[in-house]
Every structure is written in C-alpha cells, then in structure tokens.
C-alpha cells in the first residue's frame, strides 16, 4: 500500500515516485534493493537434497565394501572320489555354462587320478557307462559325511518310547 506520493517541485522530479513502506525503509539507494535469486539455507527442500546426497554417498561406500559382510567359511579338505560314490556329471557340454546338461550316476571305476568311469541310466534302457574328468563331476555326500567333514558329530535319531 502506498504511503505518499512525491511532489514535482523537488529538483529531482519526485512527482512520479510513490513511497511504499519498503521504499521508505530502503531509501532511494537502488544498489540496496533486493535483486536476483534468494536462497534460504535451512528450508525443507535443501535439507531433503542434503540427506539425499548423504544417502547416495553412503550407499556407494556400502556397495564397494559389501564383500566384507560375506562370511568366510573354513576350508575343508575334500575327500577324493571313490568307487561306488554318487556324482553329478556333465552329460553334454553346451556352448555356454547354462546350456550344459547334467546327469546323476555312480562311479564304477577310477581310470586315472583325473578320470573316472560313471554308470548312469538313460531313459529306462540298460545302464550305460561314460568316462569323464573328475573336474566335470560333483561328488554328492550324505548328511553324515558332511557333518563329520566339518567337525560336527552326526545327531542321534529321535527315539520315541
């Protein structure tokens, strides 16, 4: 709301100037006028942006150190494959790892330290044998063998009177 209007009798021609409360406080110095963008440091938007930057940095650091949270299991001496063991083996090798076909079979003979002969069943016909490298097989252990290999004793079965 205007407070007053200047008169034209002044030497600087104030007749066209309107005096408002803000103009009265600031005076006639135009270099003290508020001009341009006003930035409030402690508004909710700036706090949210700051928190977002902090969380982004924290997640980056967390992601780069995520491997430290994975527990390291104690190394267990794996037992060698023996005659009569049940194994999974690569039956047909595809172009990539996900195209491999795996089958289950029983070890019939140790051909060499790195090669074994496996007997497997194929579609209801007589069992067949195939020779595979030990590296392309996975030994299947019983629960008792796994427990004893990591130093735990096998639990006694529950007896109901």
Asked if the structure places residue 154 within a domain, the reply is no
Query: Is residue 114 in some structural domain?
Result: yes
Q: How many distinct structural domains can be found in the chain?
A: 2
Question: Which residues span the domain enclosing 113?
Answer: 86-149
Residue 161 has pLDDT above 50, yes or no: no
Residue 119: inside a domain: yes
Whole-model pTM: value is 0.43
**In this structure, is residue 18 part of a structural domain?**
yes
Q: Which has the higher per-residue pLDDT, 17 or 48?
A: 48
Contact 131, 137 (CB under 8 A): no
Query: Based on the domain organization, do 145 and 106 belong to the same domain?
Result: yes
pLDDT, residue 117, reads: 94
26 within a domain of the structure (yes/no): yes
Last residue of one domain, picked from the residues 66, 97, 116:
66
Q: Is the pLDDT score of 15 beyond 60?
A: no
Mark 20-35 as b/e (b = at least 16 C-beta within 10 Å): eeeeeeeeeeeeeeee
One domain for residues 91 and 119? yes
pLDDT digits (tens, 9 = 90+) for 81-121: 888 888 999 887 666 667 778 889 999 999 998 999 999 98
Q: Where are the alpha helices (DSSP H) in the chain?
A: 21-26, 44-64, 143-149
60 and 107, same domain (yes or no) = no
pLDDT of 154 higher than 70: no
Residues 57 and 91 placed together within one structural domain of the fold: no
Percent of the chain at pLDDT > 90 equals 20
Note whether 58 and 22 are same-domain residues: yes
Q: State how far the Cα of 147 lies from the Cα of 151, in Å rounded to an integer.
A: 6
Q: Does 31 reside within a domain?
A: yes
Q: Which of 34, 66, 98 is the last residue of a domain?
A: 66
Whole-number pLDDT of residue 158: 44
136 vs 77, which has greater pLDDT?
A: 136
pLDDT value at 22 more than 90: no
**Residue 75 clears pLDDT 90, i.e. is over it:** no
Q: In this structure, are residues 134 and 115 in contact, taking their beta carbons and an 8 Å threshold?
A: yes
Q: How far apart are CA 16 and CA 9, in angstroms?
A: 11
């Amino acid at each position: 709301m205007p407070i007053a209007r200047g008169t034209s009798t002044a030497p600087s021609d104030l007749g066209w100037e309107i005096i408002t409360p803000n103009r009265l406080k600031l005076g006639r110095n135009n270099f003290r006028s508020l001009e341009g963008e006003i930035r409030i440091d402690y508004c909710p938007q700036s706090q949210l942006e700051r928190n977002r930057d902090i969380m982004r940095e924290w997640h980056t650091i967390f992601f780069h150190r995520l491997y430290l949270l994975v527990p390291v299991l104690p190394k267990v001496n794996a037992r060698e494959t023996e005659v009569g063991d049940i194994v999974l083996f690569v039956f047909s090798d595809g172009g990539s790892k996900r195209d491999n076909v795996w089958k289950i079979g029983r070890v019939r003979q140790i051909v060499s330290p790195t090669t074994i002969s496996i007997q497997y069943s194929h579609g209801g016909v007589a069992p067949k044998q195939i020779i595979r490298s030990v590296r392309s097989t996975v030994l299947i252990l019983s629960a008792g063998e796994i427990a004893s290999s990591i130093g735990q004793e096998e639990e006694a079965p529950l007896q109901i009177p």
